[in-house]
Amino acid sequence: MSLSQILPLSTCPGLSLTALAPMQDVTDLHFMSVLAHYGCPDYFFTEYFRVHPSSTLNKKILRSITENTTGRPVFAQLIGESIPDLVRIARELSHYPVAGIDLNLGCPAPRVYRKNVGGGLLRDPEQVKRILSELREAVAGRLTVKMRIGFDNTDHFDRLLDLINLCDINLLSLHGRTVKEKYHSAVHYDLIAHAVQQVRCPVLANGNVTSATSALSVLEMTGAAGVMIGRAAIRNPWIFQQIRQALNGQPVSGVPLSAVHDYIERLRQTQTASMVPERARVSHMKMYLNFIAQSVDVAGAFLREMRQARTETELLAVCDRHLLSNPETEFALEPYPGLVARPTCETPQDCCA
């Protein structure tokens, strides 16, 4: 069966797929709309809907489905362990224009996995089997999974892959690290390649896909149907268009710092920005800028000065000084070595893909 018979039509049929990874407090309606300006991925995945006995559909996350004008399919992601409630929420979401229902089996945040949800479920394949079986029975459309290769080891990996087949999952997005490895170890691309051989559904390779060049390398190493990108898309929203250029054998377009300045302005301009306290606005912008700064200057001066800014005026002045003084200087396609987005976590929720 071809990809087009299993999954929604891609932006460029015949090319490997691209997807924006679900990132809590990042991949909302506004961020999806900003990305669309620079070149959409084939697929979007929402932030996770938290599922428990008293949960309802989060209205903010729902907007990224109901008000989405990007023209690209949106998969709705769930996180939880209560089977009746996962089924209930999945059925509710099926009434909206979703491309599929996605189960989170990979979130590495301790506050999440300690509740035995997200990546915590990888310790219990039998519970995963029960959840996927019930969801498969309840979801008439596509059912997809985003997971890691294990919790603190890969002992259950093959069993989990067997469950992907047993439950007729339509797409597997696989981050090639364990939950405990978070984002710090090398990515085990060999295990992603193993999954590609073992499961019947398409696989998206996830983990350290930082540029068009690395995307092509990961696709070659793994044989995956495509790549899923999280943190690198915050840093470089042009990455999906650049990957399509590379896949087509075209030169990858460079990006001047003036365009990066424009991107930051788009991130800043939300409909609700004026109603948010300045301190919260500055903190929110720094979340993005921690990643963007990795490709601005090799010495990391922008990163340091941005972090020291306390007011919005100070923060914007740092952006103007570093991005508009030499506006035609090219933004680095890869992060500069040694520049870390955050010393201890990747987003405020430590739940980036």
Pairing verdict, β 171-175 and 143-148: parallel
Contacts of 90 (CB under 8 A, 6+ apart): 78, 101, 135, 138, 139
DSSP of 306-350: HHH--SHHHHHHHHHHHHHSSTTSBPPSSPPTT--S-SS-SSTTS
107 is catalytic: yes
Token pair for residue 135? 């969801």
Question: How many CA atoms within 13 Å lie on the side-chain side of 225?
Answer: 25
Q: Report the 10 Å Cβ neighbour count for 150.
A: 21
- At residue 84's C-alpha, the angle toward residues 81 and 88, to 5°, is 105
Catalytic residue, chosen from 107, 319, 351, 352, is 107
Rounded Cα distance, 268 and 352, in Å: 20
Q: What is the 3-state secondary structure (H, E, C) of 40-99?
A: CCCEEEEEEEECCCCCCCCHHHHHHHHCCCCCCCEEEEEECCCHHHHHHHHHHHCCCCCC
Residue whose C-alpha is closest to residue 74's, from 45, 104, 51, 112: 45
Rounded Cα distance, 161 and 164, in Å: 5
Beta bridge partners of 18: 227
Token pair for residue 214? 């690395």
The number of angstroms, rounded, from the C-alpha of 223 to the middle of its chain's C-alpha atoms is: 20
Tell me the residue type at 62: L
Residues with a catalytic annotation lie at 107
